[in-house]
Structure formats: structure tokens, C-alpha cells
Amino acid sequence: MGKVLILLLVAIGVWFFLRGLRNGKRDQSARIAQDVPPETMVACARCGLNQPRSESIASNGTYYCCEAHRQADEERS
């Protein structure tokens, strides 16, 4: 009877341990995704220059490398 109880406790311990590992992994990957989002490269709609989206100027769903190109495209349309 005592053996069965110990086995049960060990099984519960292992279950919690594995669950903790899974949760830890998920939290870690979620945190990494939040802190360092994969930088998307976008092309300037005016000149086609590729650069990180964070450094681009977004306008109506398109991206520009600089303010001058954004204005140039807006004036054209």
C-alpha cells in the first residue's frame, strides 16, 4: 500500500515537472517573440529600396524609404 502511494506521488511530481517544462518553454518563446519581433523588410513604393519596416514611413498600406518619396507618390496620385 505504501509503495503504491509513493508511486502515485512520484507520478504526480513527474506530471507537474513536465507541465512546468512545457509552460516554461511556451512563456520563453512568447517573450522572445514580444521583445524581438522578426524584422520585416519592406520595399519603398517609390524607388524600391529595401529596408526594415520600423525604419520605413508607412502610408496607406505602402512603405517608403523617406518622407520625400512618400510625398512624391502622394502628389502623383
Which positions lie near Zn ion, rule CB under 5 A? 44, 46-47, 49, 65, 69
In the DSSP assignment, the letter for residue 30 is H
> Least distance to Zn ion from the beta carbon of 64, Å?
6
Closest to Zn ion by CB, 42 vs 44, is: 44
Distance CA 38, CA 1 (A): 55
> Least distance to Zn ion from the beta carbon of 39, Å?
18
C-alpha cell at 72: 512624391
CA neighbor of 72 nearest in space, from 42, 47, 41, 43: 47
Closest to Zn ion by CB, 29 vs 40, is: 40
